[in-house]
Structure 1
Amino acid sequence: MSTGNFVADRLERMRKVMAGHVESGDVPGLVWAVSRGGETHVEAVGALSLNGTAPMRRDSIFRIASLTKPVTAAAAMILVEESRLRLDDPVDKWLPELADRKVLKSVDGKLTDTVPASRPITLRDLLTLRFGVGAIMVYPFAYPVQHAMAEAGIAPSADLYRGSPDAFMKAVGSLPLAHQPGEGWLYHTGLDVAGVLVARAAGQPLSAFMQERIFGPLGMKDTGFHVPAEKVDRLATAYSRDFRTGKLGVYDEAKGGLFAKPAAFESGGGGLVSTADDYLAFQKMLLGKGKLGSERILSRASVELMTTDQLTDAEKASAEMFFNGNSGWGLGMSVALRRDNLFTTPGRFGWDGGYGTSAYADPENDLAGILLSQKLMDSPEAPKHYVDFWTSAYQAIEG
């Protein structure tokens, strides 16, 4: 039986597969959603916490981690469209901490062994993660710049920065760049910096700008940088796996946890909480080329730019674990370039979050999907429930 957009018995197969991940103890709970052609299916299985009785619900709230990145890119592009920011202007006016940068002669060299930056840093550099500061994927830390980032508290990790935006920018500005602006790719930090840039250029906190220009117009009523007290009973407890025992341990509680109070630093790279329906609204806006219903958030041109690969082949090759030979990076998100799996349709865009989230939209199939879980990723490879979710979503498409 077909619904026109999905095959009904294949959706049932999807339900069983995803429920199996909860029944096996792989994750405490899941909320997932798929939407195509105006038809949306949302399912919730499991519990908000391992030892609690509260069931996972459609409106359960999750820390969405790096699913924040596309939202921050959208916020930045709103300001670009209004000519309050420009993609290729130096950001020095708003971020003086990034002026007159020094660049390491070698990424593994001493912090003092530098040359001047060949040009100023731009917003495009931040949104494409090519500005020169970010995750250097060598573990355990071996390079002086890695240790310097850790000592400054800004090494990319599951532990978000907890100081003020000004303190964050002072720490970033104290470091040399690992490569010349626009000539390399390092994960994460550029979107945190972009969030500070948006706030300073807009003259208001990042949360207020996003609420006014994105969340409010799109009806994203449960999305923000913290969970208010009256909603905290819907926030899932976050867990991480102990590598020694294989058991799940609490990473962040709901009540009294890190997200139960306003954030001193509103991380544009990973600080939002949201729900399945809220984030679907954002995805549908992007699928609608910037418009959802009567609300236009962005122009068609901006969305097409955001969802077009901006990297060189060399930049993608230098970050193979992120791109897997089949994708690139637009503004704030991944873009699929070739099909080597059921779900890597060229043009599909979105990203994964380290706290257990995955959201992509596929213009060719008019498909949006999101998976929300509360178990932190413990490997660069996609967890099995991510792979099974996307495999199940695509096998259920009609036509």
Structure 2
Amino acid sequence: MTTDLRAFLDPYVARGAVPGAVALVARGDRVEVAAAGSPDTGGTVPMARDTIFRIASLTKPIVAAATMTLIDEGRLTPGHPVGTWLPELAAPKVVRTPDSPVDDVVPARRPITVFDLLTFRAGYGFPSDFTLPAVAPLFAELNQGSPQPRAAAEPDTWMRTLSRIPLLRQPGEAWLYNTCSDILGVLIARVSGRSLPEFLHERLFEPLGMKDTGFAVPAADLGRFTPYYRAHPDGGFDLVDPADGQWSTLPAFPSGAGGLVSTADDWLAFARMLLAGGVTGDGRRLLTASSVRQMTTDHLTPAQREASGLFTEGQGWGFGGSVDVETKEPWNVRGRYGWVGGTGTAGHLVPSTGLTTLLLTQVELGGPTPPQLMRDFWTYAAGATG
């Protein structure tokens, strides 16, 4: 590799961009991992390879993969209406226009399908304009947005609340962010008869050896868990959640959109399974190769990509993550799949080259545009791997 990853990270810690970070660049058996800085602003202990982070929206690809295991088994079908398992969504209403009041609704033209949820085109979620009337209840009543595990109600209550909120767009019409992954989490639990944490552990985490991934951090491991910060406008960081805070116990609502914690090596194991076409390192098949291809293929129309308002660097959307469709930046390799998390995380893989890149920090993103550290890391990874 052309440069040293630790040498890349150290200047960002030194100038206060983040208190610390763990970064990983891997291709095949060749893995470079670096830990810099500290998990906390006090610098009490050094950051380590096995430090546990809130991975936020890097949860989404994992929940998409879990959904695909049920499809592979024939227990779900992409085109099937979700009302079979989620009767709360059997007859949804849609606001007449995106800027209509929440009580100005019309019936949905067709049912919401599993495929709609996987592609984020079910009609629920965040558009580029957060001020639309039908978006407000997602924050106020469902606690969508910045992950707060203890703020959301248990799944059945959450679904009843969701059923009273109209869709922003007709099913299949537009890409809208986030909410569909939380709905998928409830769908997985109802179809499987297992809670989402149990199902993910049995079907993905245990066979992949993802021993530090889950919806809460055991008391014995809290010493490896970072606090969570927000950058202060005048410099430094404000504490959002301490290590022994919201992730120290299992939440009532395990969020399929952003509730997981994990480590660099755990997420690498997940990425390698996808790169191997659904097969674990010890030869166990978790997903069919077809399911992996569907996850990592862009399913949006050009008009839907353009209207999303969130993609500025040639990205479309697969299942649970973005897919690069244009080469606008050094890191834009066609087919690159992955996503970023609002807690300061980013994980991607490139099926055509076998590349995995992962950056884990503990500082909240300031908006949909990736911070400079993240963008520079992607550039570093593109150069380091040729």
Instruction: Please confirm whether the aligned pair reaches a TM-score higher than 0.5, indicating the same fold.
Output: yes
Q: Distance in 2 between matches of 1:105 and 1:112?
A: 9
Does 2:225 align with 1:235? yes
Is the alpha carbon distance of 1:158 and 1:137 closer, same or farther for their aligned partners in structure 2, counting shifts above 3 Å? Answer: farther
1:196 to 186, 192, 204: 186
Letter in 1 for 2:284: E
For residue 3 of structure 1, what is the aligned residue in structure 2?
none
Unaligned runs of 5+ in 1: 1-6
- Which of these residues, 304, 310, 328, is aligned with residue 293 of structure 2? 304
Partner secondary structure for residue 204 of structure 2: helix
How many Å apart are 1:295 and its aligned residue?
A: 1.8
Q: Does the CA contact (< 8 Å) of 2:127 and 2:308 recur in 1?
A: no
User: 1:117: which partner in 2?
Assistant: 108
2:240 is matched with: 251
> Equivalences for 1:315-334 in 2 at 5 Å?
315-320=304-309, 322-324=310-312, 326-334=314-322
Tell me the equivalent position of 2:173.
183
CA positional deviation for 1:159 = 3.5
CA contact (8 A) 2:54 2:262 kept: yes
Alignment partner of 1:127 is 2:127: no
Counterpart code for 2:102: L
Letter of the structure 1 residue corresponding to residue 22 of structure 2: V
- Equivalent positions of 1:37-48 (< 5 A) are 37-48=28-39
Q: For residues 186 and 353 of structure 1, what CA distance do their matches in structure 2 show?
A: 16
Select which of 7, 12, 24 maps to 1:33: 24
Shift of 1:325: 5.0
Larger mean CA deviation between 322-331 and 171-180 belongs to 322-331
What residue number does 1:384 align with?
372
Match of 2:265 in 1: 277
Q: What's the offset of the Cα at 1:205?
A: 0.7
2:6, 2:35 within 8 Å by CA — same for their partners in 1? no
Equivalence for 1:358: 346
Q: Deviations over 1:351-395 (max 9, x none)?
A: 000001000001222111110000000121111110111111111
- Confirm or deny: 8 A CA contact 1:349 1:360 kept in the other structure: yes
Contact preservation (8 Å) 1:135, 1:156: no
Which residue of structure 2 lines up, in the alignment, with residue 221 of structure 1?
Answer: 211
Per-residue CA shift, 1:147-186, capped at 9, x if unaligned?
A: 3333313343344552101121111111111111011111
136, 142, 146: which one aligns with 1:157: 146
Contact in 2 for aligned 1:356/1:374 (Cα 8 Å): yes
Deviations 1:97-120 (A, max 9, x none): 111111111111122211111111
- Distance of 2:216 and 2:202 partners within structure 1: 16
**CA displacement at 1:348 relative to structure 2:** 0.7
Q: CA RMSD in A?
A: 1.3
State how many pairs are aligned: 384
Aligned-residue offset at 1:41: 1.3
Q: Which of 338, 355, 373 is matched with 2:326 structurally?
A: 338
Amino-acid identity (%): 44
Tell whether 2:50 aligns with 1:59.
Answer: yes
CA distance in 2, matches of 1:252, 1:26: 18
Q: TM-score, normalised by structure 2?
A: 0.97
In structure 1, what is the Cα distance between the partners aligned to 2:58 and 2:83?
27
2:358 equivalent among 349, 360, 370: 370
Q: Please report the TM-score for the alignment, with normalisation by the length of structure 1.
A: 0.94
Check if 1:267 corresponds to 2:282. Answer: no
- The equivalent of 2:77 in structure 1 is 86
Provide Cα deviations, 1:279-331, integer angstroms capped at 9, x if missing partner.
Answer: 000000111111122121101000001111111111111113x2215110011
